[in-house]
Structure 1
Amino acid sequence: MSDIPGGAMANRPVHFIWLLDCSYSMQGEKIGQLNYAIREAIPEMRAVAHDNPAAQLLLRTVKFSTTAQWHHQTPVPVDDFTWQDVQVDGTTNLGEALTLVSRELQSPPMPQRALKPVLALVSDGVPTDDWKAGLKAIDATPWGRKAVRVAIAIGADADRAVLQEFLGNPELQPLDANSPKQLAAAIRWASTAAVKAASQPVAGAADPLAKQPYAPPVLDDDDDDDVW
């Protein structure tokens, strides 16, 4: 691939980064359903990527609990990506996770020709560290300010105010996932709509997600026992 006039057009990368809450409150069905939902969403992400051949979709994952660490550190093309299950451990150090990601949103290591990255945050609780400092670190980077952001609140105990501030746009709301089916729908939406938005260069400063239906389908057939 080459950027030289007359040469082949290079694919512009879209870096998709999951930020996953793996604290103890996620243990049991929540973490199991999260792993299942992301694994099942990968083929749909591939389909979206194939529909946007000028964009190269690259996936990574950060997990956060008592510490934050890369679960998939090297950007992997979606066609080559295999999901590896995350496990629960400890508290909810969201700020550390955001700071970790912020280091990858500088140029370099982000290429200047990249399309908007996608930051997808999933949490079921309240941060236990200085999350505002981590968010400031994200917002201080050029690619952090441009990023397409989505947030999923798992269950009634998720701090929606924190997730709303992460989104940074009053027109967008966190997706509520109060049951396994709603979580699967939210993950599917975040995995596809956000990639579509990031893959299309958008003129101006408007958030490309603001004009899209920002909610998973309403599911009223969940059993009461499955509500988180």
Structure 2
Amino acid sequence: MTVDGKIQSLNAAIRESIPHMQAAASSNPNAQVLVRVINFSNGAQWHIASPTKIEEFKWKDLEANVNALTDMGKALSMLSEQMKVPPMEERALPPVLVLISDGQPTDDFKAGLNDIMKQPWGKKSVRIAIAIGKDADEEVLQKFIGHSELRPLKANNPEALVERIKWVSTVVLQSASSPPSQISSSSHTPVTVPIPSVVPASTPSVDDVW
């Protein structure tokens, strides 16, 4: 994330997407949308630790570390702890997990993903991945997604990155917060969220820079 302004573009794209995310969430007042963020550069740590209401969400810029490791596996293991009941409630909408990366994991990604999939809410989560630049490991991101009909979203320039994050922040969020069927009468059976089939195309008028 240290080259070609990637981290600055990511920060700008997220800030630009927040109003769209808030608007998408407000379309279903019966669903409460909470946001948390993990940074996995040179270790994994909560960047935004407390579940924050989308109406109150403010972005804190990430900083790039030179020669940083990509501890993606550790980040997923940390996330898996939050997929348990508690802290997750038995009756809730499936969480949306968005993984953004410009490289490949330098630790045990498989172990972290297994930790996610061991949890009921991990299995039921909607998992989306955004590959920033040509060096992103799309095979790893595809394994994270775990859905044959959905590929990692590619962002090879700042404009495309904004488009991808806006899509996740609006279309996917709206689908997850407004499922076609309500919670099952069984408190242990989460609803299934339909994954939107229309994915935004790359911006054709802008050259790839990453």
Matched position secondary structure for 2:122: helix
In structure 2, the gaps of 5 or more residues are 182-189
Distance 1:205 1:51 in 2: 19
Alignment of 1:208 with 2:186, yes or no, is no
Aligned match of 1:227: 209
Aligned match of 2:71: 93
Deviation (angstroms), 1:205: 7.9
Distance 1:91 1:202 in 2: 41
Alignment of 1:217 with 2:201, yes or no, is yes
Any conservation in 1 of the 2:22–2:54 contact (CA below 8 Å)? Answer: yes
- Aligned AA (1:227): V
Any conservation in 1 of the 2:155–2:202 contact (CA below 8 Å)? Answer: no
RMSD: 1.6
Distance 2:193 2:173 in 1: 13
| Structure 1 segment 11-90 matched on structure 2, within 5 A | 25-89=1-65, 90=68
Aligned match of 1:146: 124
Q: Tell me how many residue pairs correspond in the alignment.
A: 200
Aligned match of 1:111: 89
Aligned match of 1:123: 101
Distance 2:75 2:180 in 1: 28
Matched position secondary structure for 1:182: helix
TM-score, structure 1 normalization: 0.83
Deviation (angstroms), 1:88: 1.4
Give the direction of change, closer, same or farther, for the CA distance of 1:176–1:110 in structure 2 (3 Å limit).
same
TM-score, structure 2 normalization: 0.90
Aligned match of 2:159: 181
More strand by share: 1
- Aligned AA (1:216): P
